[in-house]
Amino acid sequence: MTSPRNNTKSAIWKKTRVPSGESRLFIKRKKVNAAHCAGCGKELGGVPSGRPYEMRKLSKTEKRPERIYGGVLCGNCVKEKIKGEVRKV
Ligand SMILES: [Zn+2]
């Protein structure tokens, strides 16, 4: 029987043959989807994706670019947004 922490949908069980010749079940975690821009839907650069225990190890500045809307909008969308705001005035 599996341990309760491994009895989840985020676990992928893989049968692998070990050197002794028998096959055993190994657990593999699902990959996390990459972050996408809220404006155009393009994949964001400089934003790593990982399971929470991997993301916890990163510092705040390693998790998103240090600019306005960093980690939410891509560079092009920020550029267009700033242009729009400036032209309103
Ligand atoms: Zn965008």
The SS3 call for residue 11 is strand
Domain residues for 14? 1-30
Note whether 66 and 36 are same-domain residues.
yes
Cα–ligand 1 centroid distance for 70 (angstroms): 11
| Radius of gyration of the chain from its Cα atoms, rounded to whole angstroms | 20
Note whether 18 and 43 are same-domain residues.
no
Note whether 57 and 72 are same-domain residues.
yes
Asked if 43 and 36 count as a contact pair (C-beta separation under 8 A), the reply is yes
Cα–ligand 1 centroid distance for 44 (angstroms): 8
Which single residue is written with the structure tokens 């070990």?
18
Query: Quick check: pTM over 0.85?
Result: no
Cα–ligand 1 centroid distance for 75 (angstroms): 7
Cα–ligand 1 centroid distance for 43 (angstroms): 8
Exposure string of 62-76, with b = 16+ CB inside 10 Å and e = fewer, is ebbbeeebbebbbbe
Tally of domains within the chain:
2
Per-residue pLDDT 10s for the chain (89 aa) are: 678 888 888 788 899 999 999 999 988 888 889 999 999 999 999 999 998 999 999 999 999 999 999 999 999 999 999 999 999 98
Count of CB atoms situated within 10 Å of the CB of 37: 20
Which single residue is written with the structure tokens 């400089």?
46
